[in-house]
Chain A
């Protein structure tokens, strides 16, 4: 059976599934139950400085985007960092770590961007016996307006500076949690590395308004008729998170920097994808908030079975496997030619491929009076839209053409060699061969 245990920055946990810093990790009661349920570790809900804690709104904090059957696809929140006193949190962290020494205990922190503030809190955290800290440079609402969270995460110089303070004033491994609310995620990641970070974690939530109440004209969630942007998370954000993770994993400047993957992880498969793109472990929030702690059973069994099937002995064997296959568009093989193919036995004759291709693509599907749908190879550009809209899995497939055959659309022979845009004759910057 596959070994699911991980060693992330020297922090050991029995499996790669940590609960992300959020309501599931806001107090001892939750964390104990999470550990009992089998979670490998937690990142405690973000702590602030000593003194009166922040206050949350007293109306709805969450908004949602639904799919069929009210399946939660996206969640948005306007919650702040912990609103419980610092000493209470520290006491509970200590108790949990003491009683579950084999689980990872990371403490998330967000204090003002002043050296003294960080210097003050770090020894208090260290005293709990926690395994590491995560710097919350990601929260996009409320805290950012006070010069913390995403406000820091959007300025690489601040990231570097604060990270350096943390390394200077504590022995604990430092994970820097990145905000996706920026244009190029490689910059803050590089800054974290320059400041001495042991790892980055990403993504935090994305600025969002989930909906507008068309009766009251208030954004949701609505607090007394007004709304404010919140942070988006859940299954809908996974593609964005995967892309950001891959950017950091393959950039020469940050390549090799350990990554804790976060963002929309709901099933074992999502987790495996993050790991394949370079994450040493993963963090989960919305899926646990939607379905409860028990999902970890499926996460573990699914990952373990898949690893057995593929012959991966440990999680470390999987980390980064897909990274070499992430490239820039300009390096994609333009001599690779495919055609859509419809399996007539599997086809249920809904005609969605026809509507999609006829109305919005390349008029490459024919429809007979008795509803037989066929691809016209002369027109098909292999865009994949028909595959994407077909309700039957594997009914429409993309079949690569064999080198040497003639593409009926272009009348050209399919070349066996790899050739990309950088050398394409239509590219104005292609150097003409002398």
Chain B
């Protein structure tokens, strides 16, 4: 018998194939040519534009919008990709409401910024649909560099280095490239297998040898790499997950939000992906929102995000929070998970209400119990294998502004390093800047 949203336990097939298809399609329909022209016309071409400053990769936004206005979206795409080779992905996943669009003067003027993200997508999609890769590799420098990790940081670094004529060897522990672009970002933000397409498009630059399924710390060591290459870049992200520290964490049904999402992203048929009837996501960031929303889209009946502080402290943007609530997710705040109840598998979650004091969070003694078949942990990721002898602070690799680590010849960037928000666009900026510094260092 087919299951539905009210079927107890963790089961697959809660929704029909059609419903699933609709739910996981592009969240935002792309702009067509006329819509793009109208949206582009709203840009004031500001002097020393605030949006450029707000973009971690400092894309020349007024210029690319003007290029769309004048009917040259391919040139617009080139302007974007010059600064951010993953401009296509960033156009889909950047929280623009807290970046460029927040800084747009029309946001101040009328609460309605120029739709920079959608315009960026229009330009990059137009170019990428032609299959053209608009960059040329400089003549070979004879230098070789190892890049570890194929998330946005590693990809941006590898591309920039290859473009400058260096030979790059790109490693990843996984067999599929892309990092969280491929395994983490919400499915409806990168519909149509975009992450994979973008990686293939990016590799057209040439000069990059891919070695997937090779894990640093297992098959290779940092010392091996430092010996064999002129420089090494680490973009290994955050592979580990923080523990809940609640009783019963080992019960069946308690999972990492990131691995649930990774499964979801790789599933060939989402109607076969099981999800609980009553789902609880513990956390307050983008991962929590994505796990919650996608559980709902898979057909869970009740989905609750449980966050331990006030709602305005959540690291997911207000916009993301609203997206969650409008998708039918309930956001519960000022609660801490104390106990997971169930005989082998989860059946209830017990929370305690807390208040925020100078001393930290203190329990009020008031208890709340919610039915639960599935509990996702989304309370932050950690650096998994700390590469030996690198300075670490707050669980992340210490780097300077140019991405140099405490060890000679070793650079790092992206989520695995301290500083900057953990965003795709920040990872791109850090990978790119490290590549520039590696180039300058090697070519003196």
Q: Residue on B with the closest CB to A359?
A: B47
Q: Find residues 325-356 in chain A having any chain B CB closer than 8 Å to their own CB.
A: 348-352, 354-355
Q: Does B319 contact A (CB under 8 A)?
A: no
B50 contact set on A, CB distance < 8 A: 349, 371
Taking a contact as CB atoms under 8 Å apart, the answer to whether B105 and A348 are in contact is yes
Question: How far is B34's CA from A68's CA once the two chains are assembled, in angstroms?
Answer: 11
Residues of A with C-beta under 8 A to B401: none
Question: Contacts of B38 on A, CB cut-off 8 Å?
Answer: 68-69
B45 at the interface (CB under 8 A from A): yes
Chain A residue, CB-CB nearest to B34 = A70
Q: Does A391 contact B (CB under 8 A)?
A: yes
Residues from 40 to 78 in B contacting A, C-beta threshold 8 Å:
41, 44-50
- Bound-state CA distance A354–B45 (Å) is 12
Contact of A69 among B41, B47, B108 (CB under 8 A): B41
Are A348 and B108 interface neighbours, CB within 8 A?
yes
**Cα distance A351–B48 in the bound complex, in angstroms:** 8
Q: Contact check: which of A68, A348, A352 meets B47 at CB < 8 Å?
A: A352
B106 interface contact, C-beta 8 A = yes
Establish whether residues A349 and B105, one from each chain, have CB atoms under 8 Å apart when the complex forms: yes
| Candidates B47, B105, B106, B108; contact of A355 at CB < 8 Å | B47
Q: Does A354 lie within 8 Å of B47, measured CB to CB?
A: yes
B359 at the interface (CB under 8 A from A): no
Also in contact, A68 and B45, with CB within 8 A (given A348-B108, A392-B109): no
Q: Which of A348, A349, A352 contacts B45 (CB 8 A)?
A: A352
Known contacts A354-B47, A355-B47, A371-B50; A348/B106 CB under 8 A:
yes
Asked if A350 and B46 make an inter-chain contact with CB atoms under 8 angstroms apart, the answer reads yes
Say yes or no: A350-B41 contact (C-beta < 8 A), given A355-B47, A371-B50.
no
Max count, chain B CB within 10 A of own CB: residue among A69, A350, A352? A350
Mask for B107-118, Cβ within 8 A of A = 1, else 0?
Answer: 011000000000
> Contact flags (1/0) for B9-47 with A, using CB distance below 8 Å?
000000000000000000000000010011001001111
> Which A residues, 234 to 270, have Cβ-Cβ distances below 8 Å to chain B?
none
B44–A352 contact, CB under 8 A?
yes
- Given the complex, which residues of B lie within 8 Å of A350, measured CB to CB? 44, 46-47, 105
Once the chains bind, are B48 and A348 in contact (CB under 8 Å)?
no
In the complex, residue of chain A having the shortest beta-carbon distance to the beta carbon of B48: A351
The distance from the CB of A85 to the nearest CB of chain B, in whole angstroms, is 42
Chain A residues with CB below 8 A from B108, complex form: 348-349
- Closest B-chain residue to A373, C-beta based? B47
Q: How far is the CB of B109 from chain A (nearest CB, A)?
A: 4
Among B45, B47, B108, max chain A CB count under 10 A is at: B47
Do residues B109 and A348 form an inter-chain contact, with CB atoms below 8 A?
yes
Contact B109 A352 (CB under 8 A): no
**In the complex the two chains form, what is the Cα distance from A417 to B188 in whole Å?**
71
What chain A residues lie within 8 Å of B47 (beta carbons)?
Answer: 350-352, 354-355, 367
* Neighbouring A residues of B37 by C-beta, 8 Å: 69-70
How distant is the Cα of A354 from the Cα of B49 in the complex, in angstroms?
12
- Interchain nearest-CB distance for B316 vs A (Å): 28
Chain B residues positioned under 8 Å from A348 (CB to CB)? 105-106, 108-109
* B46 contact set on A, CB distance < 8 A: 349-352
Give the shortest distance, in Å, between A66 (CB) and chain B (any CB): 10
* A18 nearest CB across to chain B (Å): 34
Question: A392 — which chain B residues lie within 8 A by C-beta?
Answer: 109
Interface residues as binary, A359-394 with B (CB distance below 8 Å gives 1, 0 otherwise): 000000001000100000000000000000001100
**Interface pair B106/A68, CB less than 8 Å apart:** no
A371 to B108, CA, bound (A): 13
Instruction: Closest A residue to B43 by CB, please name it.
Output: A350
Chain B: CB-nearest residue to A390: B44
Q: Which residue of A lies closest to B107 (CB)?
A: A348
**Chain B window 95-106, contacts with chain A (Cβ cutoff 8 Å), 1 for yes, 0 for no:** 000000000011
Give the residues from 106 to 154 in chain B that come closer than 8 angstroms, CB to CB, to chain A: 106, 108-109
User: Which of B34, B44, B48 contacts A391, CB < 8 Å?
Assistant: B44
CB distance from A373 to the nearest CB of B (A): 9
* Closest residue on chain A to residue B109 by CB atoms: A348
| B positions within 8 Å CB-CB of A | 34, 37-38, 41, 44-50, 105-106, 108-109
| Interface residues, chain A, with chain B CB atoms under 8 Å away | 68-70, 348-352, 354-355, 367, 371, 391-392
CB-CB nearest 10 A-B residue pairs = A351-B47, A68-B41, A355-B47, A348-B109, A350-B46, A348-B105, A350-B105, A350-B44, A348-B108, A69-B38
User: What are 19 inter-chain pairs, A to B, with CB distance below 8 A?
Assistant: A68-B41, A69-B38, A70-B37, A348-B105, A349-B105, A350-B44, A350-B46, A350-B47, A350-B105, A351-B46, A351-B47, A351-B48, A351-B49, A352-B46, A352-B47, A367-B47, A371-B48, A391-B44, A392-B109
Q: With A349-B108, A351-B47, A367-B48 given, can you name 19 additional A-B contacts, CB distance below 8 Å?
A: A68-B38, A68-B41, A69-B38, A69-B41, A70-B34, A70-B37, A348-B106, A349-B46, A349-B105, A350-B46, A351-B46, A351-B49, A352-B46, A354-B47, A355-B47, A367-B47, A371-B50, A391-B109, A392-B109
